[in-house]
Structure 1
Amino acid sequence: MDGVSQQDVQKYREDGYLVLEGFFSPEECDVLRERMSEIVEQMDVPVHCRTQFSTDHDEQLKTQGNADYFITSGDKVCFFFEKGVFNENGEFTVPKERSLNKIGHALHAHEPVFKSITHSPKVQNLAKKLGLIKPVVLQSMYIFKQPCIGGEVTPHQDATFLYTEPLGKVMGVWIALEDATLDNGCLWFIPGSHRNGITRRMVRTPKGSFPLTDFIGREQNYRDDLFVAAPVKKGGVVLIHGEVLHRSAENTSDASRNVYAFHIMDSENTCWSSENWLQPTEELPFPSLYT
């Protein structure tokens, strides 16, 4: 795919999301998947860090160790697991390559092949077409959506977790490394919902408190018939506005739905909230997308 049309830009602004088929080649996708297989093969996760992932963060915040592991993962490569893949002793009950929900949140900084895709000319040109002046990379993650056990992601807005003032400065870039279908858990969106602001924020609690994060406000209930499916072929990209409502169903199929996703923020005249769980560190300030 050579570029993004003005019609594409307009559709993204109207709907709050955009599907771009064929943005990356199958070979580019395979390089990321092969490197991830190596990372998984080599992973050695301490028992107390065997953290299950949930969009509500209910499981991962139950213990201090799990909470610390999550909230300090922004400048590291950390491992988050599906529910039910450990026994009471913290031992795997499934092959470890089938246990993971995602790996995040700094693949873009520590893994050269992921960094190369994140800062690729294709992505840089896309950001420029969308008018981003000083985009920085906030976080990145590899999402597995395992066959038969890949968990549901409930309706949410990314700005709940990645809050800026003003709103509208964050965008997710969601790269399908395999076909994302109705059967294996493709994304679903409510078109135009990015115009309504947000109703919930996840914030850090005062130092010394536990849990380490809490929610302000609450997620509303949304009619199922408002959601529109966004299946995409391997190599396609889905752009996700920070306030658009989206979800994905459980993967009950025999096919995985691997994705590499990252978030960028236009830092021009933007305030990144000090209450966000994710914070830049001395070791990893948010890097410029254009360098």
Structure 2
Amino acid sequence: MQPQPTGTTEQPAPSHSSPHIVAYLLDSTSSPPPLPPPRAAMPPAGSLTAEQLSFFDANGYLVLEPFSGEEDVQALRDRMAELIAGLDDGGADGTQHHRMEMDDYYFNSAENISFFYEDKAFGDDGCLKQPKELSIRFVGHALHEHDPVFKKFSFSENISSIFPSLRYKRPAIVQSRYIFKIIHTYIHTEPPSCTGLWFALEDATVNNGCLWAIPRSHKNSLKIRMIKDENGTYFDRPTPSYDHKEFVPLEVKSGSLVVIHGNLVHKSAENLSPTSRHAFVLHLVDTEGCEWSKGNWIKRKTAPEAIYVSS
């Protein structure tokens, strides 16, 4: 993995850190939606150093290692274990969780805590083939809103202090995911208005499905857009192909945070090892002066809560 700057010396953010809004999640030409009261005052600006900001601008990602202590890691893992223990073991109730990602259960999860199982987790009788803790693919997409343990971490000063450096005025979390051992390969393309935070709850290596990214790919325009409208859910163009040689592995220790630019091409390979690789993922956008795109798959009934509001 490439060496990266560390430290938290206060520095002014360069002009390139200003978020650019495009019509995938947000549309800067529209009026802002009604916003809830602010949750917290804006934290001190400049939590990232000038060197860190320069690396992030050049490469599209930044590893903060360490970011949080073992206490936070264990609290999130223990809480997820409690949530899973409270689930049924299968049958009719279990089958309702086993849906394809593009169905109503997935889309209705935007403001819920929903459980998504592996494609072959259930047998013909509708029951799980393995224990539920080995069958779940991920949990999403509103842990940060509805669970007190995950909300405490998501709205912590550790998280919020990153965004003044990136010149966010009213950042809000639009989705969260707890990801387990077995996941499928994805290449994410988000709008430049979105920043992803990937918090490692276990060591992530090339052997157990760490993140891979193409450095500097965020400087290219958005190559594909997923749209959900009256015509259904579809992509506006074929999925781009990438040479694996362009990707670099982002191996990190438990407690590390990977900050990901919204346009960075990145993926996570399927974990075929016996070693699990849990992670908690947040996506935030700046809601100041922006309106949610009608084509975005997340259809919220209420506006997302800001983690701070700048004066």
TM-score > 0.5, shorter chain as reference: yes
In 2, the alpha carbon distance for the partners of 1:195 and 1:137 equals: 23
Q: Any conservation in 2 of the 1:169–1:267 contact (CA below 8 Å)?
A: no
Could you tell me which residue of structure 2 aligns to residue 125 of structure 1?
161
* 2:124 is aligned with 1:88: yes
Q: Residue deviations 1:152-180, cap 9 Å, x none? A: 323231x2xxxxxxx41100111001111
Could you tell me which residue of structure 2 aligns to residue 60 of structure 1?
101
Shift of 1:246: 0.4
Could you tell me which residue of structure 2 aligns to residue 142 of structure 1?
178
| Percent of paired sites with the same residue | 35
Match of 1:102 among 116, 138, 152: 138
CA RMSD of aligned residues (A): 1.7
Shift of 1:50: 2.6
Q: Any conservation in 2 of the 1:169–1:270 contact (CA below 8 Å)?
A: no
| Consecutive unaligned residues in structure 1, runs of 5 or more | 53-58, 62-66, 160-166
Q: Any conservation in 2 of the 1:50–1:90 contact (CA below 8 Å)?
A: no
What SS is found at the alignment partner of 2:186? strand
Shift of 1:48: 4.5
Could you tell me which residue of structure 2 aligns to residue 262 of structure 1?
282
In 2, the alpha carbon distance for the partners of 1:154 and 1:136 equals: 24
Could you tell me which residue of structure 2 aligns to residue 289 of structure 1?
307
Could you tell me which residue of structure 1 aligns to residue 48 of structure 2?
4
TM-score (norm 1): 0.85
In 2, the alpha carbon distance for the partners of 1:277 and 1:43 equals: 26
* 2:296 is aligned with 1:276: yes
* 2:223 is aligned with 1:203: no
Match of 1:113 among 138, 142, 149: 149
TM-score (norm 2): 0.80
Q: Residue deviations 1:88-129, cap 9 Å, x none? A: 222100110111110000000111111111111111111112
Shift of 1:201: 1.3
In 1, the alpha carbon distance for the partners of 2:96 and 2:229 equals: 21
Could you tell me which residue of structure 2 aligns to residue 22 of structure 1?
66
Q: Any conservation in 2 of the 1:103–1:143 contact (CA below 8 Å)?
A: yes
Match of 2:194 among 170, 181, 193: 170
Q: Between Structure 1 and Structure 2, whose CA radius of gyration is higher?
A: 2
Could you tell me which residue of structure 2 aligns to residue 162 of structure 1?
none
Change in CA separation of 1:252 and 1:48 when aligned onto 2, cut-off 3 Å: closer
Say how many residue pairs are matched: 262
